Amino acid sequence: MTDVIIAGIGQTEVGEHWDIGLRDLAFAAIQEAVKDSGGLKPQSLFVGNMLAPNLSNQAHLGVLIADYAGLLGIEAVTIEAAGASGGAALRQGYLAVKSGLVDVALVIGVEKFTDKVGSGVDAALATTGDADFESVQGMTPAAQAALLMKRYMHEYNVPKDGFAGFALTAHANGVANKHAMFRKAIKPETYAKAEMVSDPLNMFDMAPNADGAAAVVLTRSDLLPSSFSHPLVKIAGSASSSDTLALHDRKDMLYFDTAQISAGKAMKQVGAVLDDIDLFEYHDTFSIYAALQLEAVGFAIKGKGWKLAADGRIALASPALVPPAVELLANNKHIPCATMGGMKARGFAGGASGVYQAVEAVTQLRGEGEANQIPNAKTALIQSLGGPASTAVSHILQKA
């Protein structure tokens, strides 16, 4: 079977880029990724984007970006799966190269939230839910997450500050990430005083919407240029799963089936078990999502995911900034999460988020994480969610 190598990575700083257009953000990340790959020339372009038609009044991004990047003539398509768009685009690029029909694929995730402000952004975000039964009632992703969080806290007797550890972890790890939107650690008392967004969700329980672009170049090892000097990192497993769009149609709203299914399939492809995972980049757009992913994937039992953060059990790249990590798995192994700040500190760049996860995981597996480097990292699990896990896309990345 053909190994799919992530030959090049590129990313822009995540933030509010008022004076930079969507195509310019994408081009900056593409240039960096192609250069990092040794100058490989893509045959296919897969664009992960969530809301450009709503926020930027721009559809047909594949052609737009291919044209602007000087890649006219190649296959160029846009992949949309709400917040999992970047992860879904990565999977399509992986499948293209894995099939042998494409030698070099370029995957770019890009989002430009600041093309609209105020209620227009909330209205756009609401389109990722069920328009007929959720959005029409005024349901937004934040309100939906707040309802899940409130129910979870009620069911499992979680204290008011029970989710604080997720924000503390993300912001501690974001300090050394030069591409992160927020690079300052926070204290428990800062979390406790945070403004409420949608009870019980406060401003530190949700990732900030932001502009950004991240790109990866995929190929086979035999096509790498002779000058290629990076440690090889491959996509060893890839899987996607879907659930109901509306939460009220689910048998159990507090269990992310898609997270379990897609992660399980990806790990089975590799023959990996949880003990083999050296880091987990979860989709922490909301603290409750991080907890539910930890439970669904198997790092915590149902109703106990929040405790991994509350007890300091999520290992940190910068442990001096927060209480020391303690044992998580049966073999006393820690599971580092949000190692470069996650979506909470790096910022939630919509359809680009899944590609940012891949870039950050490759950085760790190459040993280029600097102050945030996870020692001896060989296997990473990254997982992107569309909505409240209506879609889940999981990838296993390994040092080849």
Average the pLDDT over 342-358 and give the result: 98
Going from the N-terminus, what domains does the chain have, and what CATH number goes with each?
A: 4-117+209-223 (3.40.47.10)
And the tokens for 247?
């939460």
Q: Give the confidence band of 327 by pLDDT, cuts at 50, 70, 90.
A: very low
Per-residue model confidence (pLDDT) at position 278: 95
Computed over every residue of the chain, the mean pLDDT equals 93
Residue 319's DSSP bridge partners are: none
Q: Give the confidence band of 374 by pLDDT, cuts at 50, 70, 90.
A: very high
And the tokens for 166?
């997720």
And the tokens for 76?
């160029």
And the tokens for 121?
């952004």
Per-residue model confidence (pLDDT) at position 319: 38
Three-class DSSP category at 119: helix
Task: Classify burial at 194, counting beta carbons within 10 Å of its beta carbon; exposed 0-12, middle 13-18, buried 19 or more.
Answer: middle
pLDDT digits (tens, 9 = 90+) for 213-262: 999 999 999 999 999 999 999 999 999 999 999 999 999 999 999 999 99
Residue 206, C-beta contacts closer than 8 angstroms, at least 6 positions apart: 142, 145, 197, 285, 286, 287, 344
Q: Kindly report whether the peptide bond that precedes residue 200 is cis, defined as omega within 30 degrees of 0.
A: yes
d(CA 301, CA 303): 6
| CA neighbor of 347 nearest in space, from 207, 216, 215 | 207
Per-residue model confidence (pLDDT) at position 312: 55
Q: What are phi and psi of 157, to 5 degrees?
A: 55, 50
Average the pLDDT over 21-31 and give the result: 98
